Amino acid sequence: MGESSDGRERILTVGVAVARSGRLANLGDPLDFVTTLLRPRLAGLGPTGYRIRLAARDTRSSAEGARQAVEELTRDEDAKIIVTLAGTQVLPAVADACEAIGVPCLSSTFPWQVYYYGRGADAAHPFTWTYHFCWGLEDIAATFADLWERADGGGREAVGCLWNDGPQGTWSRHPEHGFAPAARARGHHLVDPAPYREPGADLKGHISAFREAGAGIVTSAATGRDLGRFRAQAAEAGWQPRLITCSRWLAYPPSVTGAGGRPAHADVATLVYWTPAHPYRSSLDGMTAAGLAEAYEQGTGRQWLQPLGLAYALFEVVIHALTTADDPSDRRCVADALGRTRLDTIAGPLDWTAGPVPNIATVALAGGQWQRGTRHDYELAVVTGGQVDGLAVDGDLVTT
């Protein structure tokens, strides 16, 4: 089945939907880098008699661009599977387009509840074509609760919620699947004022509410720019929390500079899902986490990024699925192979047979904080090992 009738090698195309223009272009850097790095290496991997080819399309940082990218990859490139990551509007649009067309899709860097329930699936109606691996909102809540309890000496200090009126805030508040119920189950009192509209120009109402409630800790899923606004306005009001925990773009190195030349990230605690210190190797070529981070810094001159590990793992899982599929040229067979995948990757062990719901594999989290660095101005220190076995803690949590 691997060769054409004239004995020539057959081609299997993997489509890559990645932001290369628009406001999310920087978020597309990890996937773009890994695509370029692996393109020549993947050609000789995969099923015997086939050559792997990578074809990329720009999502243009929009849902419409994402849908067009999927259409072009399936129609013009005959992609047997499509990979993507990053973008609150873009990632679901890629996955939905793949589900509608009938092409397997693998994605990451998006809490699994938002991906799964947010796109309309449930236990009785799982997705047919689209698969995902990531942490959950309950994992973020557990990681942040660990950090809060370290900051307040194990007590249950009130926590202010700086949440927007978009998907991040809506899902954080969700009464069944969200961040809030998991945090409250740990005994934490959440102070949640009216959501702010993103971008948040005036956050003084939140500051007043937190101050009045005695919330010395603030948690958020803000952009770096909005977090910078919040910190500047809090300073103007003569108030500052002892600790801020923030997810979303805070996984990326600081880029937004605040008052006094300090980035909005400075001393902010966040989730840690991949670092050069993670004790993982690639199933493709033995690449270590440290090796991948170094390759990125040497190749780009920029600081390593957490999503690098997940981007690399996308291709590990894809090659595994194509290799184990009954017929790698048949999209249905490739999707079925994704659903039974269990694989140790550079992002850790991934298992689609274990749930928590169909089509989802989970990623373990640790806790970190952006602190003054040695190689870079600010570096992500691991301050709690969390769920990650074998990850060394290399910093102490700093509070104001």
| pLDDT single digits (tens) 15-53 | 999 999 999 999 999 999 999 999 999 999 999 999 999
Q: Quote the pTM value.
A: 0.95
* pLDDT tens, residue by residue, 231-256: 999 999 999 999 999 998 778 888 65
- The position carrying tokens 């062990």 is 349
Q: State both tokens at 400.
A: 């104001």
Dist. CA 377–CA 262, nearest whole Å: 10
Dist. CA 329–CA 350, nearest whole Å: 24
Return the percentage of the chain with pLDDT > 70, whole number: 96
222 confidence band (pLDDT: 50, 70, 90):
very high
5 confidence band (pLDDT: 50, 70, 90):
very low
Across-strand partners of 351? 342
> Is the confidence at residue 225, as pLDDT, over 60?
yes
Identify how many contiguous H helices and E strands the chain contains and give both numbers. Answer: 12, 15
Strands (E), the chain: 10-18, 50-58, 79-85, 105-108, 130-134, 159-162, 190-191, 217-220, 243-246, 269-272, 342-345, 348-351, 360-362, 366-372, 378-384
Q: What is the dihedral of CA 152, 270, 122, 15, to 10 degrees?
A: -170
Across-strand partners of 190? 159
Q: What is the dihedral of CA 269, 274, 278, 279, to 10 degrees?
A: 150
Q: State both tokens at 236.
A: 């103007």
Q: Read off the pLDDT of each residue in 193-201 and give the average, rounded to a whole number.
A: 92
What is the average pLDDT score of the chain?
94
pLDDT value, residue 96: 98
CA angle 165, 186, 197 (to 5 degrees): 10
pLDDT value, residue 161: 98
> Is the confidence at residue 4, as pLDDT, over 90?
no
pLDDT value, residue 371: 95
* pLDDT tens, residue by residue, 250-305: 788 886 555 556 888 999 999 999 999 999 999 999 999 999 999 999 999 999 99
- Whole-angstrom CA distances from 122 to 90, 111, 113, 273, 386 are 21, 15, 10, 26, 28
pLDDT value, residue 1: 41
7 confidence band (pLDDT: 50, 70, 90):
low
* Per-residue exposure over 368-399, b if at least 16 CB sit within 10 Å of its own CB, e if not: bbbbeeeeebbbbbbbbbbbbeebebeeebbb
Q: Read off the pLDDT of each residue in 113-130 and give the average, rounded to a whole number.
A: 95
pLDDT value, residue 248: 84
- Whole-angstrom CA distances from 266 to 132, 235, 240, 253, 381 are 31, 14, 13, 10, 12
CB atoms within 10 A of CB 351: 15
Question: Of the candidates 32, 29, 15, 133, which has an alpha carbon nearest to the alpha carbon of residue 68?
Answer: 15
CB atoms within 10 A of CB 75: 10
pLDDT value, residue 256: 55
CB atoms within 10 A of CB 32: 17
Q: Which helix (H) or strand (E) holds 34?
A: helix 29-42
> Is the confidence at residue 2, as pLDDT, over 80?
no
* Per-residue exposure over 185-198, b if at least 16 CB sit within 10 Å of its own CB, e if not: eeebebbbbebbee
Helix (H, G, I), strand (E, B) or coil at 345: strand
User: Which amino acid, one-letter code, is at 104?
Assistant: P
DSSP 8-class letter at 197: P
Dist. CA 176–CA 185, nearest whole Å: 12
> Is the confidence at residue 372, as pLDDT, over 50?
yes
CB 368 within 8 A of CB 143: no
> Is the confidence at residue 159, as pLDDT, over 50?
yes
pLDDT value, residue 260: 59
Question: Of the candidates 141, 248, 147, which has an alpha carbon nearest to the alpha carbon of residue 184?
Answer: 141
316 phi/psi in degrees, rounded to 5: -60, -45
Dist. CA 21–CA 273, nearest whole Å: 26
* pLDDT tens, residue by residue, 293-347: 999 999 999 999 999 999 999 999 999 999 999 999 999 999 999 999 999 999 9
